[in-house]
Amino acid sequence: MIEVYFDGASAGNPGPSGAGIFIKGNGQPERYSIPLDEMSNHEAEFHAFILALEICLEKQFQTVSFRTDSELVNRSIEKEFVKSKQYKPLLERALLLTQQFHLFFLKWIPSSENKNADELARNAIRQASKKQKDMDH
């Protein structure tokens, strides 16, 4: 089974954000640091999840277990509901993607078990900040 750890991070709320995705169970571990636009931490978590789903579908993984330290994302997917209107389109997109797997699991884990994805998300913020500085000059 493929295990996917994901994390979204934001430097400020909102602020420059990044997604970190760590995939293991298919040979060599795969690491992704993906810079995101300015957004809140919760938005970054949802975007990281959606990107992780898309990567797994592109790679044609069919049995996938996702891990997150975001209680909001975990609860929203479990209940297929989110209170805040701003997260509704993100939740709907994520739910559509989850339906494309043969077996899909999402499990909440403490942040201490999500260090790889967290580090990757922070790297993505640094990439986004550097890119912004380069554009400003």
Q: Is residue 109 part of a domain?
A: no
Would residue 14 count as lying in a domain? Answer: yes
Please write the tens of the pLDDT for every residue from 78-111: 999 999 999 999 999 999 999 999 999 999 999 9
Range of the domain at 77: 2-103
Q: At what angle do helices 41-58 and 115-136 cross, to 10 degrees?
A: 110
In a domain, 111, yes or no: no
Residue 42 lies in a domain: yes
Please list the pLDDT of the chain residue by residue as tens digits (137 residues): 999 999 999 998 899 999 999 999 988 999 999 999 999 999 999 999 999 999 999 999 999 999 999 999 999 999 999 999 999 999 999 999 999 999 999 999 999 999 999 999 999 999 877 666 666 65
pLDDT in the model for residue 13: 84
What are the residues whose beta carbons fall under 8 Å from the beta carbon of 71, sequence distance 6 or more?
Answer: 108
pTM listed for this prediction: 0.94
Structural domain tally of the chain? 1
Structure tokens at 79: 């209940």
Q: What is the CATH number of the domain that holds 94?
A: 3.30.420.10
User: How many helices (H) and strands (E) in the chain?
Assistant: 4, 5
Residue 104: other Cβ atoms inside 10 A: 17
